[in-house]
Amino acid sequence: MTSPTDRTAAAGPQNGRAPAIDPASTETPALDVVVVTGLSGAGKNSAGRVLEDLGWFVVDNLPPALLLPMVRLGARGDLRRFAAVVDVRSRAFSSDLQEAIRVLSDAGHRPRVVYVHARDEVLVRRYESNRREHPLQGSGTLVDGITDERALLTGIAGEADLWVDTSDLNVHQLRATLENAFAREGSTPPLTATVMSFGFKYGLPLDADLVVDARFLPNPHWIPELRSHTGRDAEVRDYVLGQDAAADFLDRYIEVLRLLIPGYRREGKRYLTLAVGCTGGKHRSVAIAEEFARRLGDEGIAAVARHRDLGRE
């Protein structure tokens, strides 16, 4: 197990050195703090490495009780962006972590929680491929450990600022998701949006805040010259967006988002995932998601389109 001290010495852009401490300083300026937590095997460490590459100072396997002392230590030096990976390797971590985040906020810092998760069957496959034991498995089965961990994480999951479902993400897509949320140097907008296309036949995305059904539009799959193309191709995009119902739908849903977004901002929500589904996630949902992302950009929202199921057919 890597100790917080060892990890601190190796992480971040400080070239292997912990931030310098001014013994005469008693002030602790506010830091941006990201806590990465979630299910074992879902990719928390990969998320930590992405943040590290983006210039965050990252500590792995930090006990919740040490979160505030580490932040104070960093704030006394030149550190302004601090991230910690916290999970069940730190026992009794769930309630402790919620309290540690509350204390950080009360101290004037800006904590955000990223909850990384995946479907059970994906976690099982990952553990079996690595031949590792789940940290909560004990004398039970792998599925028992995953189930117990989900139950333990219920509280902190419900309070997370950003959910990242890695079930269908490769490392490059995970990086793009986190870059969209955290890579805007000093100019992070109040709300960042991910517009995700998906196929209903592959299941609903668990990390969606809003779900839109595009199956009311004619399906390009049944047009031979369009079947092999995707919603990113001009032929399919023009066909989908050229439907009278598509234009009306997009206009009216943008009006709904104009009502929702100020409320999200008032409540401190920083990330929004809008999921757009069709049957297979290839044609209609892709074209509509791309258009939603474009229109949200016109509304001043930093938005990126991501296509979960494109290429699965």
Domains of the chain: 32-182 (3.40.50.300), 192-307 (no CATH)
Residue 276 marked as a ligand binder? no
Report the pLDDT value the prediction gives residue 171, as an integer from 0 to 100. Answer: 83
Residue 38 marked as a ligand binder? yes
Q: Are 244 and 250 in contact (CB under 8 A)?
A: no
Report the pLDDT value the prediction gives residue 253, as an integer from 0 to 100. Answer: 96
The verdict on pTM exceeding 0.75 is no
Residue 131 marked as a ligand binder? no
Report the pLDDT value the prediction gives residue 26, as an integer from 0 to 100. Answer: 47
Residue 232 marked as a ligand binder? no
Residue 40 marked as a ligand binder? yes
Tens-digit pLDDT profile for the chain (313 aa)? 344 434 333 344 443 333 443 444 445 677 889 999 999 999 999 999 999 988 889 999 888 888 888 888 887 777 788 999 998 766 555 568 888 889 988 888 888 999 999 999 999 999 988 878 888 888 889 999 999 899 888 888 888 989 999 998 888 888 888 888 886 554 444 688 999 999 999 999 988 999 999 999 999 999 999 999 999 999 999 999 999 899 999 999 999 999 998 888 877 677 899 999 999 999 999 999 999 999 999 988 889 999 999 988 7
Which residues sit opposite 34 in a β-bridge? 83, 112
Residue 245 marked as a ligand binder? no
Burial of 78 (0-12, 13-18, 19+ CB in 10 A): exposed
Report the pLDDT value the prediction gives residue 310, as an integer from 0 to 100. Answer: 92
Residue 187 marked as a ligand binder? no
Report the pLDDT value the prediction gives residue 279, as an integer from 0 to 100. Answer: 96
Residue 89 marked as a ligand binder? yes
